[in-house]
A and B are shown apart, each in its own frame.
Chain A
Amino acid sequence: MTAWHHPATPLEPPCAPAGARRLGERVISSFAVLAHAAPLAASTEPWINFDVGLLIDRFWANTINGLAYGSIYALVALGYTLVYGVLQLINFAHSEIFILGVFGVYLTFLAFGFEPGAIPNLPLGFIIVDLIVAGLVGMAVSGLAAILLERTAYRPLRRRNAPRLAFLITAIGASFVLQQVIRIWRGSNPEGTIRLLPPSPVFTIFGAPVTNLQIIIFVASLAMFFVADTFVNRTRLGRGIRAVAQDPNTATLMGVNRERVITITFMVGGVLAGAAGLFYLMTIPQGAVYNGGFLLGIKAFTAAVLGGIGNLRGALLGGLILGVAENYGQSLFGGDWRDIVAFVLLVVVLMFRPTGILGESLARSRA
């Protein structure tokens, strides 16, 4: 048995179109030869797959899962993009704002008397009310935390006309502090699973099931996005945000209260992160852990840049694309290539669109 048969052949789907299979096999073999011809290779298992059959077979399921998970990326990415648009600041502590929201949601569940373990047997109406209340608490926690962060960490720096890199380091420091406070308070184990709404398939698209959770998360995230988009583009306060993003000095001269705009921007970003916290905990009930925000934060930031940082629509698009692409990449190359796919995608996109897919500016997106 040649080495490359080992993991690849048994996975060959019986239903995959013959053409795709042949192509897949041909590519596999050439790739596997590559992987083995390298002077360093010795083991029998190739370290990269090229499983076109699996990709085709799982296309719709991957798309649906990716869109649902990607909308969580998108909500967090909106926070990065808003703050970046207004302050040109990579708010590294945003991932901790997000995880605070997750804890807000979780502690609300606890306060309602739910216990870690089995799924409670409650009428649907109760569950929905509980989820909404928990979500609101999460949003409030994240929003307040974001304002607090802005006040205590960033505002003093702005007062002193600190250079941009100083903000970055303060953000990193704040990220450390928030993480460690959560760890010291709640311990380093994930919180026990509390799950109110188990997923159940509602309908299928080309054979791939779509669950109630996925529908709720996708629709609610889109709704949150439209509220945020409308807020920024259609309201008076939103105009202030755009004005400050475009030219802070002129905006101040025109009577925009810059400090207030900044506070509101942080708050909106925090509230969206809190909502993302609820959806995240619904998808991944094990997610409430002190360092659980870090990786997701990096991904969300990647998504924001992918779509064009400073651009709300870009954040949404970037989040969805990233969620979907990660899934395709995993099917194609194997599960351990997931994160690499995300970053390679970013690099490739920026090669061709140096300011992201939709371009960058919060102000100019509707200018």
Chain B
Amino acid sequence: MRERMSQISTFWNARSRFQQWGLLIPVVVFLLWLPVLNPPIITTEPATDFPIALFNAAVLALIAIGLNVVIGQAGLLDLGYVGFFAIGAYTTALLSSPDSLLGVRYPWLVIVPIAMLVTMISGVILGTPTLRLRGDYLAIVTLGFGEIVRLLADNIDPLRGNRGFQNIARPELDYPDGSPVFTQTDVLGFYWLAVCLIVIVLMLMGNLERSRVGRAWIAVREDEDAAELTGVPTYRFKIWAFAIGAAVGGLSGSLFAAQVGYVNNQRFDVATSILYLAAVVLGGAGNKVGVIVGAFLVSYIPDRFQFEPQYRFLVFGVALMVLMAFRPQGLLGMRQHLLAYGREAYQKLFGARTGVAPSGMTASTRPEGDLPETRPDDHAGTSPRGGGE
């Protein structure tokens, strides 16, 4: 199994970008058609609507991609990511719901950039004081932040707490026959939109990772002190990671609010935040495709067992434990190309011998557990005392 994975990985890395896209397009098309196909064993029906289950998985995938920037790329343990998701959802609600005291009703497309900007700013506001903390202290502070966002939504009257906001704006588009594309219950449109957003965000993230920013993040993740000493302004790049991650969180929050059409203070709790983390780690922190797979599983497993509600969270818990026991690095391990012209370099070095994984050239390709950072008793980079000694 591991052999096979590494072969696939090698094969993949040896392709040119165009070839990679050529291979990816059918996959994306298949994913777009999946809710229409509604394949028998995979479907979650009749217990819960299959396109909606897929849409929820896609939203979680978007969240996981954003959180992956913070956890997988920059190595910052964020347990309060749901706070950004909530801010995105609430911004959308405040700017479009009739229940909002702002009294405006902007179209969804106008709101999305505003929501992303607001969450980005809140990411900077949260990051500025807290990102000087290291490791698990950051984790608990972010957890506190997520709770504070939720509790503020509960306590501050204009945010309506449990009463919530109704009739939130959806993207306005009609099918030729005049029926709306984006509705709450017929979510094909929303699902396609979500998949397109994922593809766009993935492309942007890919470019960012291969840029100076991405390399700085990896440097921070691997050894913050060494990065600082070699001239990487670590603090600034950590704030960037937070802000960009937050913006994606805001985008997904906005998408979520539009589909449900209603937002209240439920679902923004610590438990949800922890599920996001589970999606990232399960798939393989640092691997964009991995976190999408992880997000799909975290969202899909409880939905698949919806027909037996008494047991579905038990099944989910067992699945988490089993998956982690068998693939501690995540389903797809971390994979990073640090060289700007990495592909050419691999071609030159390994092109002839396709059987060898080019792991030697990628700083963080981690065949299970043979690098010191991956051992539980050695915590360079994430432990509070990791870098300081």
Instruction: Report which of A90, A166, A248 forms a contact with B329, defined as CB distance below 8 A.
Output: A166
B156 at the interface (CB under 8 A from A): yes
B351 at the interface (CB under 8 A from A): no
Cross-chain contact B314 with A176 (CB below 8 angstroms):
yes
B105 at the interface (CB under 8 A from A): no
A263 at the interface (CB under 8 A from B): no
Instruction: Report which of B155, B311, B368, B385 forms a contact with A48, defined as CB distance below 8 A.
Output: B155
Cross-chain contact B385 with A169 (CB below 8 angstroms):
no
Instruction: Name which residue of chain B comes closest to A343, CB basis.
Output: B144
Q: How far is the CB of B334 from chain A (nearest CB, A)?
A: 9
Instruction: State in angstroms the CA–CA spacing of A344 and B282 once bound together.
Output: 31
A57 at the interface (CB under 8 A from B): no
Cross-chain contact A39 with B317 (CB below 8 angstroms):
no
Cross-chain contact A354 with B369 (CB below 8 angstroms):
no
Given A160-B328, A177-B321, A355-B137, the answer on whether A87 and B144 have CB atoms closer than 8 Å is no
Cross-chain contact B325 with A39 (CB below 8 angstroms):
no
B residues 307-363 touching A (CB-CB < 8 Å): 310-311, 313-314, 316-321, 324-325, 328-330
Instruction: Identify which of A195-203, A226-234, A273-281, A298-306 touches chain B.
Output: A298-306
Instruction: State in angstroms the CA–CA spacing of A347 and B140 once bound together.
Output: 9
A249 at the interface (CB under 8 A from B): yes
Instruction: Name which residue of chain B comes closest to A170, CB basis.
Output: B324
Instruction: Report which of A164, A165, A175, A360 forms a contact with B385, defined as CB distance below 8 A.
Output: A360
Q: How far is the CB of B369 from chain A (nearest CB, A)?
A: 4
Instruction: Report which of B313, B329, B374 forms a contact with A180, defined as CB distance below 8 A.
Output: B313
B177 at the interface (CB under 8 A from A): no
Instruction: Identify which of B51-59, B198-206, B211-219, B375-383 touches chain A.
Output: B375-383
A18 at the interface (CB under 8 A from B): no
**Residue numbers in B under 8 Å from A160 (CB-CB):** 325, 328, 368-369
Since A90-B139, A92-B274, A157-B376 are in contact, a sample of 11 more A-B pairs with Cβ atoms closer than 8 Å, ordered by chain A residue number, is A160-B325, A167-B376, A168-B281, A169-B277, A173-B324, A305-B136, A346-B141, A346-B144, A350-B141, A351-B129, A354-B134
Instruction: State in angstroms the CA–CA spacing of A176 and B313 once bound together.
Output: 7
A211 at the interface (CB under 8 A from B): no
Q: Which residues of A contact B (CB under 8 A)?
A: 38-43, 45, 47-48, 84, 87-90, 92, 153, 156-158, 160-170, 172-177, 179-181, 184, 248-249, 294, 298, 301-302, 305, 309, 336-337, 339-340, 343-344, 346-347, 350-351, 354-356, 360-361
Instruction: State in angstroms the CA–CA spacing of A89 and B101 once bound together.
Output: 45
Given A40-B158, A164-B379, the answer on whether A361 and B385 have CB atoms closer than 8 Å is yes
B-side binding surface: helix, strand, loop or mixed?
helix
Q: Which residues of B contact A (CB under 8 A)?
A: 71, 77, 94, 101-102, 129-130, 132-134, 136-137, 139-141, 143-145, 147-148, 151-152, 154-159, 270-271, 274, 277-278, 281-282, 285, 310-311, 313-314, 316-321, 324-325, 328-330, 368-369, 373-377, 379, 382-385
Instruction: Name which residue of chain B comes closest to A43, CB basis.
Output: B157
**Residue numbers in B under 8 Å from A336 (CB-CB):** 151, 154-155
Q: How far is the CB of A280 from chain B (nearest CB, A)?
A: 20
Given A180-B317, A347-B130, the answer on whether A169 and B384 have CB atoms closer than 8 Å is no
**Residue numbers in A under 8 Å from B376 (CB-CB):** 87-89, 157-158, 161-164, 167
**Residue numbers in B under 8 Å from A346 (CB-CB):** 140-141, 144
Instruction: Report which of B102, B281, B313, B325 forms a contact with A157, defined as CB distance below 8 A.
Output: B325
Q: How far is the CB of B79 from chain A (nearest CB, A)?
A: 9
Instruction: State in angstroms the CA–CA spacing of A41 and B318 once bound together.
Output: 46
Instruction: Name which residue of chain B comes closest to A356, CB basis.
Output: B137
Please list 19 pairs of residues, one from A and one from B, whose beta carbons are closer than 8 Å in the complex, sorted by A's number. A39-B101, A47-B155, A157-B328, A157-B376, A162-B328, A173-B317, A175-B317, A176-B314, A176-B320, A180-B313, A339-B151, A340-B148, A340-B152, A343-B145, A344-B148, A347-B129, A350-B133, A350-B137, A360-B384
**Residue numbers in A under 8 Å from B384 (CB-CB):** 355, 360
Residue in A45, A87, A161 with the greatest tally of chain B CB atoms within 10 Å: A161
**Residue numbers in A under 8 Å from B151 (CB-CB):** 336-337, 339-340, 343
Instruction: State in angstroms the CA–CA spacing of A170 and B278 once bound together.
Output: 9
Q: How far is the CB of B246 from chain A (nearest CB, A)?
A: 17
Instruction: State in angstroms the CA–CA spacing of A164 and B221 once bound together.
Output: 14
**Residue numbers in B under 8 Å from A89 (CB-CB):** 376
5 shortest A-B CB distances, which residue pairs?
A176-B317, A173-B320, A162-B328, A40-B158, A343-B144
**Residue numbers in B under 8 Å from A168 (CB-CB):** 277, 281
Instruction: Report which of A40, A84, A161, A356 forms a contact with B369, defined as CB distance below 8 A.
Output: A161
Given A160-B328, A166-B328, A355-B384, the answer on whether A45 and B274 have CB atoms closer than 8 Å is no
Instruction: State in angstroms the CA–CA spacing of A343 and B144 once bound together.
Output: 5
Instruction: Report which of B130, B132, B148, B281 forms a contact with A166, defined as CB distance below 8 A.
Output: B281
Cross-chain contact B140 with A248 (CB below 8 angstroms):
no
Q: How far is the CB of A173 from chain B (nearest CB, A)?
A: 3
**Residue numbers in B under 8 Å from A309 (CB-CB):** 136-137
Q: How far is the CB of A68 from chain B (nearest CB, A)?
A: 24
